[in-house]
Structure 1
Amino acid sequence: MDSNSSPSNTIPVGSTFTSPFECSPRADSARKPLSLWPGMYHSPVTNALWEARSKIFERMLDPPVDAPPQSQLLTKTPSQSRTTILYNFSIDYILREQYRDPWNEVRIGKLLEDLDALAGTISVKHCSDDDSMTRPLLLVTASVDRMVLKRPISVDIDLKMVGAVIWVGRSSIEIQLEVTQPTIESSDASEPIALTANFIFVARDSKTGKAAPVNRISPETDREKLLYEEAEARSNLRKRKGGYDRKEIENREVNRLEALLTEGRIFCDMPALADRNTILLRDTRLENSLICQPQQRNIHGRIFGGFLMHRAFELAFSTAYAFAGMMPCFLEVDHVDFLKPVDVGDFLRFKSCVLYTELENTDQPLINVEVVAHVTRPELRSSEVSNKFYFTFTVHPEATTVTNGYKIRKVVPATEEEARRILERMDAESLQLAKNVNK
């Protein structure tokens, strides 16, 4: 570069983000270190939620020295934690553009981020004791029990997201979220539910890392009492499951396991004679990887769970797209397990595959996609599973017409480990379907 270049050729660049702590009275005199700020990657809704929690965040990041734990549990109602987010898509064109997908619907991946952030805000509201002299709890997303898309979500119509705590255990809480959106025909009438989700959070002592008790809950309305009972039943079911599924497969499902492997062996041993409408699970795989950046961290300095769900969803969508040969239609997140935290700087690998398909309903074939996130540490020669995600997609009937009646293939395993994974998810889905029928 010429040393005599005019300064006018230099374009100054400034930050377009503000910290949740900028409005703090202490912002100028004792600003918190940048390393303790939440990351700058997040969506407008996530940023708004974190701004609303800024005072709690400051205390969580900088508790008094040797602060004692909460000594007395409070009893709160679901209404005390209820929080609503309104997306003004109809008038806010920039917001609309941030959430638009290529088909003029809402990007589900970004919505997953917001759902996780809202659930986190609600958990903080419920678990806070409003005492600045006690050390706050560390609240971690343990799992997403189920997330069901009941109808497509338009990006041109205002959207509302609301949630509250519906159940509390000793150190865990369940939060139910609903996304509602008016129909185009009756935008000023009732708002039908477009999506439902249930998040499980667990509380840890921020100093010892051990499980910590959380505030009690007292349902008031008939609906709140019903939701509590249903959540209690789900909690009891999770406790009973333990090793039950694996035991069932070992003792009673040997024939199913062998039948799946028989189909896979034909592909491995005699590929020319294999069924053309069948494909090996390993041939549906996709993978991507990334280094976790500081911009993706949450207020605890770890990678934001909503970001992980967003990335997993987009890989699952791509996997279903490449497998089906036509644009997939998202139906639900079957289950998400947050097994280990992910830290800034971790080498994260997402591995996906079509686990199995359900082809009985030709108008709505189901594509079940598994995404497993691994934290890989090359220096230590180690790789650990941090998250597991299960998504279900379908394709529109008219899409098969455009593609000359192309059929979705049946997926078969080549190894016993793959066969077991398929059966475990099939059994989990059958159990969930039975629960829904009994409601």
Structure 2
Amino acid sequence: MDLNSSSPQTIPVVSTFSSPFDQSPPVKDPNSASTRKPISLWPGMYHSPVTTALWEARSKIFEGLLDPPKDAPPQSELLTKTPSQSRTTILYNFSSDYILREQYRDPWNEVRIGKLLEDLDALAGTISVKHCSDDDSTTRPLLLVTASVDKIVLKKPISVDIDLKIVGAVIWVGRSSIEIQLDVIQPAKEESDDSEPVALTANFIFVARDSKTGKAAPVNRLSPETELEKFLFEEAEGRSNLRKRKRVGDRKEFENGEVNQLEALLAEGRIFCDMPALADRDSILLKDTCLENSLICQPQQRNIHGRIFGGFLMHRAFELAFSTAYTFAGLVPCFLEVDHVDFLRPVDVGDFLRFKSCVLYTELENPDQPLINVEVAAHVTRPEIRSSEVSNTFYFTFTLRPEAKATRNGFKIRKVVPATEEEARRILDRMDADA
């Protein structure tokens, strides 16, 4: 399939030195007596070449969200939609757009994963809006927020010199939740144009809230048509049921069944704390792998609902996780996946946000591909009231780039051990989740 093929739901991404919308005059909507503002003047837009393209392509939908009628009623009748109605493709013309290519290039001539995470969240949000829209400007629009990321898996390196596309659609719908699956597709140089190897897969879960009451709101139903769509729906249904069961039973099962594992993890950590001269030099305390950074959340980072854009948080968490793995291994890491992420509380403009990272544990069974599991916790800190709450916890898995390993003979990844029971519990929780 030609990556540059276009359709009504295919959005090309272009990059210029300045936004083509900055100086746009107001656009007259032929179906309305009102005047539509240029997108760059709408509040709460997190600007990038991708988000600008997405929001411009669906300006009428977002305009309704941003300026709903006063005291508008909620949607009275749910619609039934198909996955194809929300399916959207976005194109990155890296081969012909030099500026766009440079915005996404990392030091190894690949796509910056952090920026790609931003784009995935933006596209998933747009697809969820598309599915939940009832095409009636007189009803109250829903608030759609990222509830969690089920998993993001990198299947092969993504080159910044070859055109790229992301294809996404709604694959499952509950009462008030929606799962969107996204595939990043990029053919290799030596492959024919009609091949579409998937380089990365991601599943995002969004939840709907009533924009007036803030309570959970029902969303349009989904009717899968093809065998693949039915299969994806059943898989997503199974994941949803599994998440519900885990929320109910995980902690009790751990308390009753894994005390011995907890003690085994703590035993080596106690040697580091009590007899450091006798500790294993091939191990390191978890607290000695930590990094941290902080920021004040700015208005430019907010989404259409006035909260901090979830993709921005993932981007910043990824950059810190990469740095943590780099300083831990002493070699350039290679990203493999993001595990399940729950967005526990919203982050507001003006919040003091602290990202704290550590290497949680390593897997060394395969010497050719050692795994480094990094945890990044985002804390919303309020010094004036002496409080700090976890907003999100991200789990990234890295290995080492092959060319980096070749530069150092006899390198060895160290084992990470906990010094406290709380650290040991975190390690075991993640090991169980990854099993």
> What is the TM-score normalised by the length of structure 1?
0.91
Q: In structure 2, what is the equivalent of residue 4 of structure 1?
A: none
Q: In structure 1, what is the equivalent of residue 152 of structure 2?
A: 147
Cα displacement (A) at 1:62: 1.4
Distance 1:209 1:220 in 2: 33
Letter in 1 for 2:232: L
Residue-by-residue CA offset, 1:107-157 (whole Å, 9 max, x unaligned): 000000000000001000000000001000000000000000000000000
Distance 1:162 1:397 in 2: 29
User: Contact between 2:75 and 2:139, CA under 8 Å: does it hold in 1?
Assistant: yes
Letter in 2 for 1:412: V
Cα displacement (A) at 1:24: 3.4
1:114 correspondence with 2:93: no
Q: In structure 2, what is the equivalent of residue 25 of structure 1?
A: 28
Q: In structure 2, what is the equivalent of residue 126 of structure 1?
A: 131
Change (3 A) 1:21 1:292: farther
Residue-by-residue CA offset, 1:164-189 (whole Å, 9 max, x unaligned): 00000000010000001011101423
Q: In structure 1, what is the equivalent of residue 385 of structure 2?
A: 380
Q: In structure 2, what is the equivalent of residue 265 of structure 1?
A: 270
Q: In structure 2, what is the equivalent of residue 402 of structure 1?
A: 407
Letter in 1 for 2:43: W
Give the alignment's Cα RMSD to 1 decimal: 2.0
Letter in 2 for 1:277: D
1:37 correspondence with 2:40: no
Distance 1:208 1:348 in 2: 27
Q: In structure 2, what is the equivalent of residue 323 of structure 1?
A: 328
Indicate which of 408, 411, 420 corresponds to 1:415: 420
Instruction: Describe how 1:7-156 pairs up with structure 2 within 5 A.
Output: 16=19, 18=21, 23-25=26-28, 37-39=43-45, 42-156=47-161
User: Contact between 1:329 and 1:395, CA under 8 Å: does it hold in 2?
Assistant: yes
Letter in 2 for 1:100: R
Distance 1:158 1:304 in 2: 26
Change (3 A) 1:258 1:412: same
Secondary structure, counterpart of 1:402 in structure 2: coil
Distance 2:311 2:129 in 1: 16
User: Contact between 1:335 and 1:391, CA under 8 Å: does it hold in 2?
Assistant: no
1:240 correspondence with 2:245: yes
User: Contact between 1:339 and 1:386, CA under 8 Å: does it hold in 2?
Assistant: yes
User: Contact between 2:25 and 2:38, CA under 8 Å: does it hold in 1?
Assistant: no
Indicate which of 351, 357, 360 corresponds to 2:356: 351
User: Contact between 1:145 and 1:335, CA under 8 Å: does it hold in 2?
Assistant: yes
Cα displacement (A) at 1:336: 1.4
Distance 2:122 2:25 in 1: 20
Q: Structure 1 regions of 5+ residues with no counterpart?
A: 1-13, 431-439
Change (3 A) 1:157 1:15: closer
Change (3 A) 1:246 1:408: same
User: Contact between 2:149 and 2:342, CA under 8 Å: does it hold in 1?
Assistant: yes
Secondary structure, counterpart of 2:138 in structure 1: coil
User: Contact between 1:36 and 1:301, CA under 8 Å: does it hold in 2?
Assistant: no
Q: In structure 2, what is the equivalent of residue 434 of structure 1?
A: none
User: Contact between 1:284 and 1:323, CA under 8 Å: does it hold in 2?
Assistant: yes
Distance 1:33 1:45 in 2: 13
Residue-by-residue CA offset, 1:369-410 (whole Å, 9 max, x unaligned): 000001111111111111110000001345334222110000
Secondary structure, counterpart of 1:173 in structure 2: strand
Change (3 A) 1:31 1:79: closer
Letter in 2 for 1:134: T
Distance 2:22 2:347 in 1: 23
Distance 2:217 2:403 in 1: 52
Letter in 1 for 2:370: P
Secondary structure, counterpart of 1:80 in structure 2: helix
Q: In structure 2, what is the equivalent of residue 204 of structure 1?
A: 209
Indicate which of 322, 342, 345 corresponds to 2:347: 342
Change (3 A) 1:388 1:23: farther
Cα displacement (A) at 1:54: 1.8
User: Contact between 2:39 and 2:59, CA under 8 Å: does it hold in 1?
Assistant: no
Residue-by-residue CA offset, 1:400-427 (whole Å, 9 max, x unaligned): 3422211000001111111111100100
Cα displacement (A) at 1:16: 4.9
Residue-by-residue CA offset, 1:297-322 (whole Å, 9 max, x unaligned): 11111111000000000000000000
Count how many residue pairs are aligned between Structure 1 and Structure 2.
Answer: 416
User: Contact between 1:370 and 1:391, CA under 8 Å: does it hold in 2?
Assistant: yes
Q: Which moved more, 1:92-101 or 1:238-247?
A: 238-247
Distance 1:309 1:155 in 2: 20
Distance 1:29 1:224 in 2: 40
Letter in 2 for 1:120: G
Change (3 A) 1:98 1:406: same
1:312 correspondence with 2:312: no
Q: In structure 2, what is the equivalent of residue 172 of structure 1?
A: 177
Indicate which of 224, 241, 260 corresponds to 1:255: 260
Secondary structure, counterpart of 2:231 in structure 1: helix
> What is the TM-score normalised by the length of structure 2?
0.92
Cα displacement (A) at 1:65: 1.0
User: Contact between 1:368 and 1:393, CA under 8 Å: does it hold in 2?
Assistant: yes
Letter in 2 for 1:37: P
Change (3 A) 1:53 1:82: same
Indicate which of 423, 431, 434 corresponds to 1:426: 431
Q: Structure 2 regions of 5+ residues with no counterpart?
A: 1-16
Cα displacement (A) at 1:33: 12
Distance 1:135 1:86 in 2: 32
User: Contact between 2:26 and 2:36, CA under 8 Å: does it hold in 1?
Assistant: no
Distance 2:25 2:396 in 1: 39
Distance 2:18 2:81 in 1: 40
